[in-house]
Structure 1
Amino acid sequence: MARQKKSRKVGKIGVAKTSSNVRKPTEKRVKKHLGKPAGSRNSEALTDSQGPKKVVKDPRHGSKKPVSLIVESSEHRTVSKKIKYFSPSQELAAIEQDPRLASLLNKIEQGKKIAREDQQYVDHTLARHKVLCDLLGISNDDENHDVSTKQEVDLFSQFESIDINDFKD
């Protein structure tokens, strides 16, 4: 047998291709998937909505509590504390010894302007002071002193002007 030179041309070697053996380029083999695809955390919400209606769960972990971006001053936080008193006299004593009220009243007497919240605090506290004084029967000495001296003088003059013989039978 004679020797043949190698060539790059392929002849009919093996089985001839028929239309039934040839795969179409549009058909692709289905691959087996192992694990979840990339980005599965963000796409879970989409896959849940395609199926039956379920509550969409937030895929993010951690606290969902809103965080305040504005810092609140510590002065306004102390106002919210409410102290209970056993008697009106204890509450009256606490109001009269309140250092915040005393400093605000000094500022008002000096003619300085105070904040709106501070003015509301002063008004509310003084109104409560007045109610407690009325409850306990305490009145201002300055106003009553002038009235009481006039009444005493009038009563004394009436007493002196009474004639005892009018009361005898």
Structure 2
Amino acid sequence: MGKFSDSILPPHSDFIDEQKMFFVGTAPLSADGHVNLSPKGLDSFRVLSPNRIAYMDIVGSGNETSAHVRENGRITFMFCAFEGAPNILRLYGDGYTVLPGDPEWESLSAHFELQLATRQIVVATIHKVQTSCGFGVPLYHYTGERDHAAKWAEKKGVAGLEAYKAEKNMISMDGLPTSLKKN
């Protein structure tokens, strides 16, 4: 049985800091909409306070997280121990996206090493934290980050990235608008 708390406690924050990847889960309100589950890495997650987190999100082939949190706010984060003692930690919250130029951008972006492909920062207020055993999570050895996103972004350039976002990141696969703004 999992253990619950109403905030991110110091041991939770320490565990999060040790992980090299996490997963983000969101879903639209529509019963026939698609649940989105995305793996994230690149040292992109920050605990800002016991009930507030942020992660730097880079350009991808879709923008489901932004569309879902824009529609209903619901967001879940999961961290798994792939090395060391078994553990799974989930953060349940209400999220929103912050874009370059938004009032919060400067203060939030200071927490990250921004990349050319940085698209937005996703922020969430956490209302429930759950830990569970993680006995079924296999052991993996971390060997490093992939450089594919950075090389792809460099090849596209600023104008190419903006065009790509306009083509691929404005509407979710279920037809929901994202938080990105048209130029």
TM-score, normalised relative to structure 2: 0.20
Higher relative contact order (CA 8 A, sep 6+): 2
Higher helix fraction (1 or 2) = 1
Between Structure 1 and Structure 2, whose CA radius of gyration is higher?
Answer: 1
